[in-house]
C-alpha cells in the first residue's frame, strides 16, 4: 500500500494546518476530524480552540496531496 501525505492548510492566517500520512483522502479527512474532536476544548495538554479550526470541513482549507519524497513547506505568519 502506498501512503501519501495529505496537507490540509488554511487559505489565510490563524488556523491550524494538518498533515497526515494516509492511504486515501477519506482516511486522511477522518483522521484529522478525529484529532480535532479529541483535542477541541481541552484545558490541559494539547488544546484546539474553535477559532483555530473554524474553517475545517469547508473550502477554507486547501488540500495538497504529496507522493513519497515530495516536500511541502508551510508558513503560518
Considering the entire predicted model, what is its pTM? 0.84
Percent over 90 (pLDDT), the chain: 49
Task: Tell me if 9 sits within 8 A of 75, measured CB to CB.
Answer: no
Q: What is the sign of the dihedral through the CA atoms of 69, 14, 63 and 7?
A: positive
Predicted pLDDT at 25: 97
What local confidence, expressed as pLDDT, does residue 31 receive? 97
Q: What is the pLDDT of residues 13-30, one digit of tens each?
A: 778 899 999 999 999 999
- Please identify every stretch of the chain with a pLDDT value under 50, giving residue numbers as ranges: none
Query: Tell me, what's the pLDDT at 66?
Result: 95
Q: According to the 3-state scheme, what is the secondary structure of the chain?
A: CCCEEEEEEECCCCCCCEEEEECCHHHHHHHHHHHHHHHECCCCCCCECCHHHCCCCCCCEEEEEECCCCCCCCCCC
Per-residue pLDDT, 28: 98
Amino acid at each position: 500500500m502506498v501512503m501519501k501525505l495529505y496537507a490540509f492548510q488554511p487559505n489565510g492566517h490563524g488556523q491550524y494546518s494538518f498533515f497526515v500520512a494516509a492511504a486515501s483522502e477519506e482516511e486522511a479527512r477522518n483522521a484529522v476530524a478525529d484529532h480535532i474532536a479529541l483535542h477541541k476544548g481541552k484545558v490541559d495538554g494539547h488544546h484546539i480552540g474553535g477559532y483555530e479550526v473554524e474553517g475545517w470541513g469547508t473550502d477554507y482549507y486547501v488540500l495538497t496531496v504529496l507522493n513519497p519524497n515530495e516536500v511541502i513547506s508551510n508558513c503560518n505568519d
